[in-house]
Chains A and B, each alone.
Chain A
Amino acid sequence: DQQVKQNSPSLSVQEGRISILNCDYTNSMFDYFLWYKKYPAEGPTFLISISSIKDKNEDGRFTVFLNKSAKHLSLHIVPSQPGDSAVYFCAFSGGGADGLTFGKGTHLIIQP
């Protein structure tokens, strides 16, 4: 039972361009939405979040969009930089358990 889907295992983007990462979810009880970034052999690092009462939250180069009717969450990074190369996980809160529900991750590769 997959409540969260990150359909792109990997994404390659040219430096300076926009990176768009996507998540789809099915659990309508989710009410807080987060993005984490993870480098190899490290723990996930919190990036940005959004509550269910908003549809957009911006922090510097990072913007998270929430489309509740479509149950779709996305992260925009612009402009993309080499240090953005990492695995990005969407994570969801409020789905019935106290922990976060994670997607499988998208490996973002920024090409010079």
Chain B
Amino acid sequence: NAGVMQNPRHLVRRRGQEARLRCSPMKGHSHVYWYRQLPEEGLKFMVYLQKENIIDESGMPKERFSAEFPKEGPSILRIQQVVRGDSAAYFCASSLTDGYNEQFFGPGTRLTVL
């Protein structure tokens, strides 16, 4: 089953460290989206990427957060100098085309900042 894969599933970091979250989209999908879910909240859109391009990063915090989707390999969401408020579930989704097709989600990475 070539669904959306995310790793690690759980990540613990101390304040000030870097967190790197990886996402492999479904086979044949070239559009990747990252979302963050805080406790008791819905998912919040962060960034939309196609291969080698950031299309929309309107939901991404301006500092410490970056994302990439290289020509080869998974998409990476990087959080530098993590703070306790970064603790959340981070979900990656992929779609076959952009626009209004359904997005298919991975199982998420639970980031805990100590």
Give the interface of A toward B (CB within 8 A).
4, 6, 31-32, 34, 36, 41-46, 49, 51, 89, 91, 93-94, 97-105
| Cross-chain contact B104 with A46 (CB below 8 angstroms) | yes
Number of interface residues of B (CB under 8 A): 29
| Cross-chain contact A103 with B100 (CB below 8 angstroms) | no
> Nearest chain-A residue to B34 (Cβ)?
A99
Interface contact tally, CB-CB below 8 A: 69
List, in ascending order, chain A residues with CB within 8 A of B99's CB: 93
| Cross-chain contact B45 with A99 (CB below 8 angstroms) | yes
Residue of A51, A94, A105 with highest tally of chain B CB at under 10 A: A105
Bound form: Cα–Cα A78–B91 in Å: 29
Residue of B33, B41, B42 with highest tally of chain A CB at under 10 A: B42
| One of B6, B40, B56, B107 near A99 (C-beta < 8 A) | B56
| One of B33, B42, B107 near A42 (C-beta < 8 A) | B107
Bound form: Cα–Cα A102–B33 in Å: 14
List, in ascending order, chain B residues with CB within 8 A of A44's CB: 43, 91, 105
List, in ascending order, chain A residues with CB within 8 A of B55's CB: 98
